[in-house]
Structure 1
Amino acid sequence: MKRTVRSVYSSHAVKTVSITMGRNLQTCLVAWIILSNMSIGGDYPHKVNGVIGGTIELVIKQTFSDNATEVVWKLKRGSQTFKIAEFKDNNLRTEHPQIQMFRDGMGLRIKNATFDNIGNYTAKITLKNNVIEDVSFIVSLYEPVPFPTIRIDYEDGTNNTCNVTLHCDVTANTSVSYIWEYKNGSEYQRYESTVGTVQVTRQPEPMEVQCTVHNPADWKNVSVPLKPCQQKVTESHHTRHHWPVVGAVLFVVGVACIIHLIHFKTQLKKSVQETDGHIVIPRQKKDPQEEY
């Protein structure tokens, strides 16, 4: 299945891209965010993405040659390094209320994260056989993604097809990426577009469109149904077409009123007698018998 969609960039340039089958966005994004925030084995720094105000967990997944007797967590921010937590003699110690340790020091939890928690974290692990292991993490934090809204502009078309421009808007001034999907049946299909505005050719069958905004740590989405295609007729079009008819009717009524007024004046002049500019009312004749 293949369909065409045009992406509208801020420079108003329109690029044609293909729409291909894709998995459900919600499942894909949830899995992607979980995997990106998980700490797995390896010697390289693990990248952990979090949301401001949320909770971050740094978990050591490596398997070591012996049990740990001590775990010291440090945070390096800029040129300074701070000791933030320690596990020793089966005791968990930290002086920061927002920081907790679990799994015998192999996990570090940061609650109500702020930008001050961004930096490089290192766990120094001392084993019973005196072997020392280091595991490092890089923590990045992002603003929560706001809920988006979709604006729809229907363009002129026919009963079968029409062009529709969709705008996915967010209220906050934050950096996000976009994913568009459409659904004709029960499954969403993916638009290969990563911008906030897309232009599609709308077909007559029922259709639903979904926009997802996301950053590396958070995501939100919204979906809307698209109306069937129809010829676009606005109120201004109706008014423009009716003005000639209204003007003609007013002209005919005005002419009729003028003709009626002229006729009325003519009849009035015939009903009175004018002498030297004065109106003379004729006297009534008396009955001769009334004189006697």
Structure 2
Amino acid sequence: MKVALFLLLSASLLDVVLATRHKERHAISQSTIHLTTSFDQTPTEVIWKHKTPENAMQIAKMQNGLMIDRLNSRYTLGPNGSDLCIHDVTERDNGFYIAEATLADNRIENEKFYLMVHEPVPPVQILSEVRRNGDQCHITLRSSVPSNASDLSYTWKYRHQDSEYQSIDTAGSTIHKILPLDHNYTEFVCKVHNPVDQKNVSVHIEQCSVKVKTRTRVPIVLFLIIIIITAAVCGVIYWTCSNRSKQGDPENQNLKTSVQDSESTFNNISHGKTNVKMKEEDVELECFEVKS
């Protein structure tokens, strides 16, 4: 029980020492980071360890200038092992790195580093809302990034036309600014950054009267009303033409009747001509018989 308690206190003490006596380093994801020691003598042996809250492991060892052990090819050591190079770092490489060196006079010294790996700052967009309130122009700007990164910081500044930039006392992603209605052309700049990367984006605000969003609603409503009325008129015309085509046109019926009567008269006349011709042939036959 006492041994377990002693080990627990030793581990806690080591964590406190590492947290208070270390060199802090930051790196961007997929980059290469160098951790360089500052021993006052050339070490004869250096052992590098990586410690996280979940695990601790030896990652490389060099003795008398020769690589004795290495966890994988992402870790390389400089001359005499005093420099550790980590390639293609990711957030899994976060944590403490400890160099345990045996110097030429057989003294053992340690140097500690704390590495934090950050993702690049994603593209930034400013969402703006400008509204008029009495004789004032209320401006709300919000910096939007497509990620939930917790290590991002925001710095805002603005200027009127070509004047000098003035900082805005806020550390958040949203700002509120009140300007007079006749304010000049104003530019707002937001810098989104972490310890290894940053992105800048700006937005230009003109006079408050220029950006009244409700003005665009009236033409849209009128346009919708015109479309509805046009569709209704077309529907009525189509319905009327359909009924007329089904019932038939009286003028067309009269014309059809006249054509039929004309055809009947023509047939009767033709039939009459045929009878007259037959009678004429009978008379000629009788005359021939008398003469004979």
Could you state the TM-score of these two structures normalised by the residue count of structure 1?
0.58
Higher relative contact order (CA 8 A, sep 6+): 1
Shift of 1:186: 6.2
Contact 2:32 2:86 in 1 (8 A): yes
Classify the secondary structure of the residue corresponding to 1:230.
Answer: helix
Aligned residue for 1:202? 179
- Name the CA distance, whole Å, in 2 between partners of 1:201 and 1:209: 13
Q: 2:215 aligns with which of 234, 248, 251?
A: 234
- Offset from partner CA, 1:3-60 (integer Å, 9 cap, x none): xxxxxxxxxxxxxxxxxxxxxxxxxxxxxxxxxxxxxxxx812222333323332222
Aligned residue for 2:121? 145
Please list, as runs of the form range in 1=range in 2, the aligned pairs for 1:1-292 lying within 5 A after superposition. Answer: 44-60=21-37, 62=38, 64=40, 66-78=41-53, 80-92=55-67, 94-102=70-78, 104-156=80-132, 162-175=137-150, 176-184=152-160, 185=162, 187-202=164-179, 204-230=183-209, 232=212, 234-236=215-217
- Name the CA distance, whole Å, in 1 between partners of 2:195 and 2:184: 35
- Name the CA distance, whole Å, in 1 between partners of 2:54 and 2:193: 32
Contact 1:92 1:104 in 2 (8 A): no
Task: Determine what percentage of the aligned residue pairs are the same residue.
Answer: 29
Alignment length (residue pairs): 199
- Name the CA distance, whole Å, in 2 between partners of 1:189 and 1:92: 55
Structure 1: any 5+ residue segments left out of the alignment?
Answer: 1-42, 247-292
Could you state the TM-score of these two structures normalised by the residue count of structure 2?
0.58
- Offset from partner CA, 1:169-200 (integer Å, 9 cap, x none): 01123223322111344643321112221111
Q: Relative to total residues, which structure has the larger helix share, 1 or 2?
A: 2
- Name the CA distance, whole Å, in 2 between partners of 1:239 and 1:117: 56
- Give RMSD over aligned pairs: 3.2
* Letter aligned with residue 194 of structure 1: A
Q: Relative to total residues, which structure has the larger strand share, 1 or 2?
A: 1
Structure 2: any 5+ residue segments left out of the alignment?
Answer: 1-19, 226-292
Instruction: Sort the Cα spacing of 1:107 and 1:205 in 2 relative to 1 into closer, same or farther, 3 A.
Output: farther
Shift of 1:155: 0.6
- Name the CA distance, whole Å, in 2 between partners of 1:144 and 1:170: 12
